[in-house]
């Protein structure tokens, strides 16, 4: 419990952040900016887990550990995605999502 | 005092998230993302999750943003201005986000959250380490092992994907 700051404050912030990330993910064409929007969304989910842990389940640390694991998954995903992006750039000389359509059926 | 601090962090998060998804300069978008991640770790410090805040600063702000900036430098000219997407796509994605966001906010304010009246007291690194390595009740050794294997597989895959083969 923090003085003057309720659970809803945290959840509203994380919600705004998540849906801004969703807007960016749907709107952008460049793969790196899409990856940034994805990081925003994962980060918003982390705030959600941590705040619900801090306000509702104070005897356990479940949300805290889940946020830690999500950070690990996000790091792995970013490394792999950037490897794929660099490879696509070598092949197509562009990282526009609409130009990489070799496997498109 | 803490309320003022929270509102400053919230303002930073909202303004820089908006700039991250709307700016046309890709390097600036990465720097704005860095500010958002830093402000998020400030929120974790407010919730008394000091270890999580430190991990957030080192892994996200120190690792992932640097990785993204490196990949920008590898694939772009620094001063490239992104073309903005057409109006139809922008309206559709904005409408989808706003509608689902309003559903989220509505669900948030109608659900009855059971707020505990206690504080989280023990978030020291010793407790976190003990629980992470324990396999009895409240132990998290299985997800820890799974994520270790995932990270190893991911590193090997990243090397193999990005490696230049001699025959092509």
Predicted-complex ipTM score: 0.89
Q: Quote the pLDDT of residue B78.
A: 67
B93 belongs to a structural domain: no
Same domain, B67 and B20: yes
Query: Is domain A7-100 given the CATH code 1.10.287.3510 in the classification?
Result: yes
CB contact under 8 A, A78 and B68: yes
Residue B81 has pLDDT above 80, yes or no: no
Give the pTM.
Answer: 0.89
Nearest alpha carbon to residue B28 among B79, B62, B86, B83: B79
Mutate to test the interface with B, among A12, A41, A83 (most CBs of B within 10 A): A83
B73 belongs to a structural domain: yes
Burial class, A82, CB count within 10 angstroms (exposed 0-12 / middle 13-18 / buried 19+): buried
By Cβ distance, the residue of B72, B108, B158 closest to A80 is: B158
Q: Quote the pLDDT of residue A1.
A: 65
CB contact under 8 A, A72 and B147: yes
By Cβ distance, the residue of A7, A51, A71 closest to B56 is: A71
Same domain, B1 and B82: yes
B100 belongs to a structural domain: no
B98 belongs to a structural domain: no
Report domain extents, chain A: 7-100
Q: What is the pLDDT along chain A (105 residues), one digit of tens a residue?
A: 677 788 888 999 999 999 999 999 998 888 889 999 999 999 999 999 999 988 888 888 888 899 999 999 999 999 898 888 888 888 887 778 777 777 776
Same domain, B2 and B82: yes
Whether the CB of A48 is below 8 Å from some CB of chain B: the reply is no
Same domain, B48 and B127: no
Q: Quote the pLDDT of residue B147.
A: 92
Residue B115 has pLDDT above 70, yes or no: yes
The CA R_g of chain B, rounded to the nearest whole Å, is 21
Same domain, B1 and B74: yes
Domain that holds residue B147: 122-168
**What distance in Å separates residue A50's CA from the closest CA in chain B?**
8
B131 belongs to a structural domain: yes
Q: Are B139 and B133 in contact (CB under 8 A)?
A: yes
Domain count, chain B: 2
B82 belongs to a structural domain: yes
Residue B84 has pLDDT above 80, yes or no: no
- What CATH code is carried by the domain that includes residue B50? 1.20.120.1200
């Amino acid at each position: 419990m923090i003085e003057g700051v309720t659970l809803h404050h945290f959840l509203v912030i994380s919600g705004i952040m998540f849906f801004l990330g969703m807007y960016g993910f749907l709107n952008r064409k460049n793969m790196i900016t899409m990856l940034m929007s994805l990081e925003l969304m994962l980060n918003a989910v982390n705030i959600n887990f941590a705040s619900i842990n801090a306000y509702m389940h104070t005897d356990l640390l479940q949300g805290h550990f889940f946020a830690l694991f999500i950070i690990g998954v996000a790091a792995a995903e970013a490394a792999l995605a950037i490897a794929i992006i660099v490879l696509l750039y070598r092949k197509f000389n562009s990282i526009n999502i609409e130009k990489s359509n070799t496997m498109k059926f | 005092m803490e309320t003022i601090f929270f509102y400053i962090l919230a303002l930073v998060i909202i303004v820089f998230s908006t700039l991250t998804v709307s700016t046309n300069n890709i390097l600036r978008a990465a720097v704005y993302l860095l500010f958002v991640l830093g402000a998020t770790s400030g929120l974790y410090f407010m919730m008394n999750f000091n270890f999580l805040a430190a991990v957030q600063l080192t892994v996200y702000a120190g690792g992932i943003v640097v990785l993204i900036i490196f990949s920008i430098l590898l694939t772009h000219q620094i001063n490239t201005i992104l073309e903005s997407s057409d109006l139809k796509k922008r309206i559709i994605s904005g409408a989808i986000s706003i509608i689902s966001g309003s559903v989220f906010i509505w669900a948030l304010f109608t659900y009855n959250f059971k707020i505990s009246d206690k504080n989280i007291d023990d978030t020291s690194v010793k407790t976190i380490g003990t629980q992470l390595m324990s396999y009895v009740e409240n132990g998290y050794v299985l997800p820890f092992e799974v994520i270790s294997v995932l990270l190893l597989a991911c590193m090997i895959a990243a090397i193999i994907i990005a490696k230049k083969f001699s025959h092509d």
